[in-house]
Structure 1
Amino acid sequence: MNPSLVPGRPKAAVVLATAAVLMAGGCSSSSPSSSGPSRPKGAAVVMPEVSSVPRLITAADRTLPIAPYLLSDEQSDELTAAQAKLTERCMARFGLRYTSPAPAPVFRPRTPTQFRYGVTDPEAAAVDGFAPAGGRTAPATAQPAALSAETTLVLTGTNDPHVKPGSAAAGRRVHKGRKIPVGGCVGEARARLRSEGPEAGGDAELPNDINIDSFESSRKHPLVRAVFAKWSQCMEGHGFSYPDPLAATSDSAWRTRTASAKERAAARADADCKMRNNVVGVWYAVDAALQRQAIEKNSVALAKIKKAIGARVELAAAVLAG
């Protein structure tokens, strides 16, 4: 089955500071109310004032303001399971036996913010390096079974390589006297779950962009730049020269199947220097402030997206309840 037919992963954990080692998540919109941020791409960001900075060793148990506008892992799983069930029911109407492939296992942080600011536990970093346990190796995925032309036509609405499977341009043909839905059975399932957008069920583009932009912009904030300078000086004391935590994480020397002794030492020093200088507390405070600023500017569109998430999750629950 074409991977594009599987609902997108949530992007609440979209920007990992361990992006050089892990595959950073990030889904774009399926919501009809999606639109880009009010700030044009490439435009300068007005840096917010940050009045309060918490003392944090880790941000794992902290929630970012954009979280209610993004799918949680649980919500994404429910939507995936509901789409699979609806697709299989639709195929059965056409007299075809079809089982949706199980989602490929992927590394998931315990919370969206667990590794957003990189490694924070010196003891774990000393063992695993910059990639958390389970995050370094891509999971093996089984090759999907080949489908007959008949099954593919009903499933996706098309056998034409020039037409995107499951799209609005597919379907409307007849199979054994029954009209194939727009986008085939996959398209019908998506429509039932209001997941017909560009990424077929992932996060809406607007909150996804805010989640990414706030992380990127936070690195330029004076408070973050100042604490990065302290972190860098601390790292020098451990024998490592990096301007900021992302530079340490993305060192090409760490692109190995297992963590080397040098990587483990650098990761432990990174976590230790973050702890000593409250890097996570400052970074999180600025990140959250930038998100609150963007949410205020886009409150109407985000309210619609939040409502759409609630509706989609209710629909999925009803499907799974039978």
Structure 2
Amino acid sequence: MKVRLCVLALVGVVSTGCGAASGPERDDIAPPGYAREPGVPRVQSEADIPELPLARYELSGADSKRLDRARNVLQRQCMRDFGFDDFPLEPDTWVQMSSSFESTAIAVTPYGTLDLERARRWGYGFDPDRAEEQRAEFLPKGRKVTERERRVLDGPEAGESGGSAVNGRKVPKGGCSEEAERRIGAAKAAPAPGVEYVFRRTAEIDKAVAADGRVRRAFRDWSRCVEDRGFKRYASPARAFTDKAWRKGLGDGSTHRTERELGTAVADVECNRGLNVTGVWWAVTAEKQRAELRRNRSRYEAVRKDQDRVRAAVREVLGEAG
């Protein structure tokens, strides 16, 4: 299942709210009747969450990785056309500033986190070893781009007159990086509107879900449950996760892991799982997404066909077209 997370980091990204449930928990919480109705899945871990209806109209994580690789292949071909035969497939394009810093961004799903063992050990923070692994995965694998290569990779500077040429060839607008984008996009029919449409509609549905009485009731019950265990009352699991007290004075996304933080995080997960809060959230989201599909079926089918064209273009670039 895919859940939209809005995350931006300068060096690395650590996503939470993921992972299998583990470890024993308190068994004094029972899901209320509305959380056991037909169509409401029983959710104890991320693995229990079914795929949402609109997920098939978004490129998967695997699709995105393949698309990035196809762009890199086209970009490298373009650079080689300008005589840079050893240009790497995954170049390091980071520009060193006068001062630098590392940042790790933390993302949380609308329903919070379900990993009890992680909550017990790390609270609302993250495992530094896992963060380092993800950081290494995020960073480019190739060598640094030279200044001469950058002129071709990025194209003329903003405001610079056209006609820039290297090794007798005119540098395309936006350089080889944008040329690769244009070439991979040539097989797509109006790609941006389709992607933006799904993103925009999903965001609107997310707002409607958050305002739905069933979800608000589930969050209220969850809030009381956490408070009954001696901790602060929060409006939602996401609000508990983003409490500024956990990260006060820290700039790397980690937390202080105080006794109060760890206790809150454990109560958060136990109440979420015990009351089946995520199951209610999923059922309401799925209901609204299905209604959206019924209203705009032709628009989504057009998006689906566009995805097929994207995948075909990627297969061709990667030499997999049959």
TM-score (norm 1): 0.70
Give the match for residue 144 of structure 2: 145
Q: Is the 8 A contact 2:209 2:284 kept in 1?
A: yes
Q: How does 1:236-247 map to 2 (within 5 A)?
A: 236-240=227-231, 241-247=233-239
Measured against aligned partners, the alpha-carbon deviations of 1:158-214 in whole angstroms (never above 9, x if no partner) come to 2x2347xxxxxx9764433333334322222112211899xx989811111233332
Residue 251 (structure 1) aligned with residue 250 (structure 2): no
- The one-letter code matched in structure 2 to 1:280 is T
Q: Helix, strand or coil: the match of 2:235?
A: coil
**Using a 3 Å threshold, how does the CA distance of structure 1 residues 194 and 107 change in structure 2: closer, same or farther?**
farther
TM-score (norm 2): 0.70
Among 133, 144, 158, which residue is 1:161 paired with?
158
- The one-letter code matched in structure 2 to 1:128 is W
- The one-letter code matched in structure 2 to 1:219 is A
Q: Is the 8 A contact 2:4 2:109 kept in 1?
A: no
Distance in 2 (alpha carbons) for counterparts of 1:281 and 1:133: 27
Q: Helix, strand or coil: the match of 1:66?
A: helix
Measured against aligned partners, the alpha-carbon deviations of 1:59-112 in whole angstroms (never above 9, x if no partner) come to 4442111111212111111111111111111111111242232699x9999xx9
Kindly state the Cα deviation for residue 288 of structure 1 after the two structures are TM-superposed.
Answer: 1.6
Structure 1 segments unaligned to the other structure (5+ residues)? 1-10, 26-49, 164-169
**Using a 3 Å threshold, how does the CA distance of structure 1 residues 211 and 260 change in structure 2: closer, same or farther?**
farther
Distance in 2 (alpha carbons) for counterparts of 1:96 and 1:236: 62
Measured against aligned partners, the alpha-carbon deviations of 1:228-248 in whole angstroms (never above 9, x if no partner) come to 111111111111222221221
Quote the RMSD (CA, aligned, Å): 4.0
Larger Rg belongs to: 2
Q: Is the 8 A contact 1:12 1:71 kept in 2?
A: no
Kindly state the Cα deviation for residue 320 of structure 1 after the two structures are TM-superposed.
Answer: 2.0
Structure 2 segments unaligned to the other structure (5+ residues)? 8-12, 17-36, 95-102
**Using a 3 Å threshold, how does the CA distance of structure 1 residues 73 and 201 change in structure 2: closer, same or farther?**
farther
Measured against aligned partners, the alpha-carbon deviations of 1:13-33 in whole angstroms (never above 9, x if no partner) come to 42379xxxx7789xxxxxxxx
Give the match for residue 101 of structure 1: 91
**Using a 3 Å threshold, how does the CA distance of structure 1 residues 187 and 226 change in structure 2: closer, same or farther?**
same
Give the match for residue 79 of structure 1: 67
Q: Helix, strand or coil: the match of 2:53?
A: coil
Aligned residues: 271
Q: Helix, strand or coil: the match of 1:130?
A: coil
Distance in 2 (alpha carbons) for counterparts of 1:203 and 1:119: 31
Q: How does 1:256-271 map to 2 (within 5 A)?
A: 256=250, 257-258=254-255, 259-271=257-269
Distance in 1 (alpha carbons) for counterparts of 2:105 and 2:307: 21
Measured against aligned partners, the alpha-carbon deviations of 1:93-147 in whole angstroms (never above 9, x if no partner) come to 111242232699x9999xx9x9552111323211122245467778375798353
**Using a 3 Å threshold, how does the CA distance of structure 1 residues 248 and 144 change in structure 2: closer, same or farther?**
farther
Measured against aligned partners, the alpha-carbon deviations of 1:242-297 in whole angstroms (never above 9, x if no partner) come to 22212211111122524333222111101101122110110111112222223333
- The one-letter code matched in structure 2 to 1:278 is N
